[in-house]
Amino acid sequence: MAYGEALGLQERVQAARVAGEIPDTLLLVEHPPVVTLGRGARDDGHLRVPREVFAARGFELHEVGRGGDVTYHGPGQVVAYPILDLKPDRQDVRRYVWTLEEAMIRVAAGYGVRAGRVEGLNGTWVGDNKLGAVGVRISRWVTMHGLAFNVTTDLSHFDLIVPCGIQGKGVTSLARETGRDVPRVDVEDALVRELSDIWQATPEEREGAPAV
């Protein structure tokens, strides 16, 4: 799903969740190549090439209202957008971000990859290389945006940016760490299991986009 289409869907689902019209919803998507600039992005300082180069290579650019800096989404990456109402007893932003990181850490462990956190930085890491990014926005305690987990992602695409605006760190993928091709759909399933366990939720699968 194109990023702009997914963003519009998120906004509609979030509005419906705020209004209490739908239950907590987890959107799982894969995007064509796109670079997004969050609220922490400083102009184009963390884009390593001019904007027209992205367009020439078929990349979209979007400025968005999530936290964080600049990041990349593309084929081979599991992108999860939880639309959760954190009221009344989950109103802790740091704890919520921790749950997203923890789910990716657990999924990686299931593939024999030891991932963890880096103090002072969001996301899930293998050493100094980021395996999964986190960026969220919360309105009326209902979440949107979420996480991006590199499965078989073309890591050379990250060379066009300073990922998350962090100098001196790299990126990695589950395929690189395991040395084998990992089906993205299997990682999606594992991610749903881990998030459901952490949130103490029972998932009900729906194919396609919510009707909102």
Q: What is the pLDDT of residues 80-90, one digit of tens each?
A: 999 999 999 99
Residue ranges per structural domain of the chain: 3-199
Predicted pLDDT at 108 = 98
Q: Rounded distance, CA 58 to CA 33, Å?
A: 7
Residues marked active site are found at 164
* Among 188, 101, 113, residue whose Cα is nearest residue 146: 101
Please give the backbone phi and psi of residue 2, each rounded to the nearest 5 degrees, phi first.
-60, 150
* Count helices and strands in the chain by DSSP H and E runs: 5, 10
Residue 41, pLDDT above cutoff 70:
no
Asked if residues 70 and 36 have their Cβ atoms less than 8 Å apart, the reply is yes
Q: Rounded distance, CA 145 to CA 42, Å?
A: 20
Residue 118 — very low, low, confident or very high, per pLDDT cuts 50/70/90?
A: very high
Predicted pLDDT at 44 = 62
Q: Rounded distance, CA 64 to CA 49, Å?
A: 20
Q: Rounded distance, CA 183 to CA 209, Å?
A: 22
Predicted pLDDT at 45 = 66
Q: What is the pLDDT of residues 196-210, one digit of tens each?
A: 999 999 999 887 777
Q: What is the pLDDT of residues 2-20, one digit of tens each?
A: 999 999 999 999 999 999 9
Q: What is the pLDDT of residues 128-182, one digit of tens each?
A: 999 999 999 999 999 999 999 999 999 999 988 887 677 888 999 999 999 999 9
More confident position, 63 or 89: 89
Which architecture characterizes domain 3-199 according to CATH?
2-Layer Sandwich (3.30)
